[in-house]
Homo-oligomer: A and B are copies of this chain.
Amino acid sequence: MARRVGSDGARTEAAIREAALRLIARIGYEALSMRRLAGEVDLGAAALYRYFPNKQAMLFSLLKCHMDELLSAWDAARPARSVPARQRLEAFTRFHIRHHLPRAEGVFLSYMELRSLTPQNFAVIEAMRRRYESDLAEILEDGAGAGTLAAAHPRVKARAIIAMLTGITTWYRDAGPLSPRDVENIYWNMVARMAGIEVKEVA
């Protein structure tokens, strides 16, 4: 019954979002009741409706924020199109890993719970996903055009790369033997080879 002192709606909302992310990742959206979520942050269930109009809106908000963060972070990190495709591909690879590794729960959610969204909400998230994927495909296409990357079927390759990179979050653990930097290097090595870039084996 540790009730927070002082009124700070913003902090409370953050705590709710955090708990929701964690619980939905662990047990799933449908399995998570508003009562349990509220209990996790020491509130009555009714109090949640001060922060979200309903359960679906809460899920959508979580997924939308996840994608907003991803797209704006990538917008800030992406190299200009004048940069050679090889370097842009490396930048994408390292960015994707660096961004997703500390967000395993959000990643999990944002493609396990797509089916729990209403069609309209789903369409919004799906469009954002496609935009991100297209950015990678563009890099591969540019490299193929310039003859610096082996990128036949760039859209298929883009999906393959993203699936491979995103899969890291299903096994990576902070306490494990590999540092984030190690993971970056190992995966960049694989992506580079996939794109026909000659690279040395990583230690």
Contact = CB atoms under 8 A, between A and B. Distances in A.
A47 interface: no
Contacts of A28: 28-30, 115-116
Given A112-B112, A193-B193, A167 B163 contact: yes
Given A112-B112, A115-B28, A156 B186 contact: yes
Copies in the complex: 2
Interface string A78-115: 00000000000000000000000000000000001001
A193 B202 CA distance: 15
A26 interface: yes
A31 B164 contact: no
Contacts of A170: 159, 163
B26 A115 contact: yes
A187 interface: yes
Nearest to A162: B167
B202 A152 contact: yes
A190 B194 contact: yes
A26 B31 CA distance: 16
A157 interface: yes
A168 B116 CA distance: 21
B167 A115 contact: no
A39 interface: no
A185 to B, nearest CB: 10
Given A156-B186, A164-B167, 5 more contacts: A29-B30, A152-B201, A159-B167, A159-B171, A160-B190
25 contacts: A26-B115, A27-B115, A28-B28, A28-B116, A29-B30, A30-B30, A30-B31, A31-B116, A150-B193, A152-B201, A152-B203, A153-B186, A157-B190, A159-B167, A159-B171, A160-B167, A160-B168, A160-B187, A160-B190, A161-B164, A163-B164, A163-B166, A190-B194, A193-B193, A193-B196
